[in-house]
Chain A
Amino acid sequence: MNDVAVSLTQAGEASTMVPITTGTIQIVLLVSAVMFAIGMVGFLTRRNMILMFLCTELMFQASAIAMIAFGRMHMNPEGQVFVIFILTVAAAEAALALGLVVLLYRRKPTLDAEAWSELKEC
């Protein structure tokens, strides 16, 4: 067996992979936490049913950023795969929730979530 190492192209060039820096990941995680908190505040304060669901999308978005950041830190693609599943759930949620909103809008012609407050206990 002729075991001559043939380097026809520039084999052995320096890899471009570098670990993420501490500053980058901390900034990105801070942004994700702030976005999640804002999305939660929006979900609680908004009265418009469509915008309440849009705020849950904002929270999905924030967790997706955190997952990509941690996936980058551990340098494996599984964080991104989880974001694909988040996208799936977000799309399914958008389709179902908006269908429900249209249905509710046919019953009472308003988007105000308070219109359905007789469902609550007190």
Chain B
Amino acid sequence: MTPSILYIACVVGAIGLYLIMRPHRKATRIVGTIAGAGAVAFIMVKVLEGLAADAAVPILEVVFGLAAIAGAARMVTHPRPVFAAIYFVVVVVSSAGMFLLMDAEFMAFSLIIVYAGAILITYLFVLMLAQDATSTAGEALYDRIPREPLAALVVGFVLLAVLSDAFLLVDGGVRPDAPGMTPSLSSVEEDRWMVLDGLPIQLEETVAEILATDSTAAAEFTIERIDGRAIRFDGTHASVDVKIADESRNLVLPVSAMPTNAQLVGWSLVATFPVSLEVAGVILLMAMFGAVVLARRQIDLGEDELRVAAGMTPLLEDEESEFAGGSS
């Protein structure tokens, strides 16, 4: 794929989005949808063409990606705010699907719970709370007519051209198979076993589970630690030394005992980024305070009352002050 093909596809996609944006013209909207979807699908086909012939085609990623892009495009163009919020749910669910495909199970489900469950509901409530009195049939004029669509499309799609150029073309694009790009599997496995090493109770349960299948072994055991480390990893197998009734045994841990995704994330959160975790908690607390203070009903003071509150003398006489709004 040459850069010019990518840039032409970006321009076609921008034209497609512009046509979808135009209010209440069904024909142009259909043409725009075809142009936009065609541009995205064309680039995807070009990306997959550039791969080795025996490489597997990531069909599910393509499907979820197209669903996410379609939801996003409809979200920014739909004239009804509530529908836009619901199309955002489509985006959230499809990106959760992509997270699942990328072995991020914990984040996939917390994304659905937090975004689709909590944040979107907040948005819907505020949309209902601030229902525009001037709108008829649920479509306000300002929701139908985009503001500066051409300038915005130029900005957005130049950014897209730069980003996709960096991801797909510069030095052959992002290539995990290039040397030095991905760590060796054994070092990754070692990191994960070391996480289990830091979870003593779980390690004990794992060892007890292994010993429970052996009827000859006694139930009492202690895990031996050398320099604080119980697990030893030789590049392929992780093993742990266990002392059962004064006899040392070397147990090889099964691969299924490796920490799961959620455990790895939790370990990384509390062991690698504890300060960031605290800061995140402070941010949430402050946001809660801010929301409470902002949403409290404001007291409207008259101009003269504000002067009095600021410690100045009132300008109006007492009998006139009722016209300044507010009571004395």
Q: Enumerate chain A interface residues (CB-CB to B < 8 A).
A: 1-17, 19-31, 33-42, 44-48, 50-51, 53-55, 57-58, 61, 64-65, 68-69, 71-81, 83-85, 87-96, 98-103, 105-106, 109-114
Taking CB atoms, residues of chain A closer than 8 Å to B288 are 95
Identify the 4 closest CB pairs spanning chains A and B, nearest first.
A42-B76, A44-B152, A92-B287, A99-B294
State whether the Cβ of B110 lies closer than 8 Å to any Cβ in chain A.
yes
Beta-carbon contact of A48 and B269 below 8 Å: no
Taking CB atoms, residues of chain A closer than 8 Å to B205 are none
A33 to chain B, nearest CB (A): 4
State whether the Cβ of B34 lies closer than 8 Å to any Cβ in chain A.
no
By size class, the interface of chain B is 35 or more
Beta-carbon contact of A8 and B159 below 8 Å: no
Out of B47, B69, B298, which one reaches A34, CB within 8 Å?
A: B69
Q: Enumerate chain B interface residues (CB-CB to A < 8 A).
A: 13, 17, 21, 40, 43-44, 47-48, 51, 55-58, 61-62, 64-65, 68-69, 72-73, 75-77, 81, 84-85, 88, 91-92, 95, 98-99, 101-104, 106-107, 110-111, 114-115, 118-119, 122-123, 126-127, 129-130, 132-134, 140, 142-143, 145-149, 151-153, 155-157, 159-160, 163-164, 167-168, 173-177, 181-183, 185, 188-189, 191, 210-211, 213-214, 236-237, 239, 241, 247-256, 258, 261, 264-265, 267-269, 272-273, 276, 280, 283-284, 286-288, 290-291, 294-295, 298
Beta-carbon contact of B88 and A28 below 8 Å: no
Beta-carbon contact of A64 and B149 below 8 Å: no
Interface centre among A40, A80, A101, A102, by most chain B C-beta atoms within 10 angstroms, is A80
